[in-house]
Amino acid sequence: MNDRLRAALGRRIDSHNKLVKLSTLWSVILIVVMWLAIYFLVQWVLLFLASAARGTEGDLPTHFRRFFLMGTGLWFGIYWFSRWREGANLADDKGIRGTLTDFLLLPPRATVAAARNLDNLVRLSSDETDAAAAFLEKLVRAGKLPVSSLPVELPGDDEPRDRVLAALQIMDLIYIRRPKDGNDLVVPSNPQRLLAFL
């Protein structure tokens, strides 16, 4: 085991996780500001319409907050339905209708994305970090490795192996290349950057 590589990988994981937590915090702040802006905008529009219709006696509906929460829930329901309908077949060219739908569903989509940002945290045990460091060392020496050789190059159970590979991919230390001959290869995302990291 290369101790220098293990320490460098540990520092990379720590810095990556700090960045993810910071970006999540900023996302949550922006999402809260966005929903407050939507709330006050809806409130202002309703007050404006009520004032235009009834003059100085115009006021908000009696259960405005309840209706706003119900409307927000419906908005999220439409978002989840549209995601379910699209499934995994997302077209690159959605057309005007798809673009308009994306725009209208931006608030719930942004909220869900901010909540799921913490999925990018790298959580590896000490043994998994050791395995990741050893695998990176082998990969740098070989230049590329067939995916079919992963059980040999990264021994152990499937679940820890998948966690290690996902962590290395999230941190852009490796990626999976799919050549035309059909053999998937795991290669350094940027050899020079990876060598500098090592």
8 A C-beta contact, residue 2 and residue 133: yes
Domain stops at, among 102, 119, 136 = 119
Cα–chain center distance at 105 = 17
What's the pLDDT score for residue 108? Answer: 94
How far is it, in rounded angstroms, from Cα 174 to Cα 144?
Answer: 10
Same domain, 144 and 129: yes
Confidence of residue 88 (pLDDT cuts 50, 70, 90): very low
**Stretch 29-40: mean pLDDT:** 95
Host domain of residue 108: 25-119
Q: Is residue 14 part of a domain?
A: no
How far is it, in rounded angstroms, from Cα 92 to Cα 3?
Answer: 45
Nearest to 162 by CA among 114, 115, 123, 118: 123
- At residue 176, the 3 state secondary structure works out as strand
Mean pLDDT, the chain, whole residue set: 83
Q: Is residue 7 part of a domain?
A: no
Nearest to 127 by CA among 87, 154, 101, 109: 154
Is residue 39's pLDDT more than 90?
yes
Same domain, 39 and 87: yes
Same domain, 114 and 126: no
**β-pair partners for 174:** 188
Domain harbouring 129, CATH code: 1.10.10.10
Q: Is residue 110 part of a domain?
A: yes
**Stretch 131-142: mean pLDDT:** 86
**Stretch 114-141: mean pLDDT:** 89
Per residue in 138-194, pLDDT (tens digit) is 887 887 788 888 888 888 888 889 899 999 989 888 877 776 665 566 766 565 566
Is residue 36's pLDDT more than 90?
yes
How far is it, in rounded angstroms, from Cα 184 to Cα 70?
Answer: 48
Nearest to 47 by CA among 35, 60, 38, 33: 60
Sign of the dihedral defined by the CA atoms of residues 41, 45, 46, 50, in that order: positive
Is residue 92's pLDDT more than 70?
no
Same domain, 130 and 115: no
Sign of the dihedral defined by the CA atoms of residues 49, 52, 54, 57, in that order: positive
Q: Is residue 183 part of a domain?
A: yes
Q: Is residue 2 part of a domain?
A: no
**Stretch 107-115: mean pLDDT:** 92
Q: Is residue 146 part of a domain?
A: yes
**Stretch 134-139: mean pLDDT:** 86
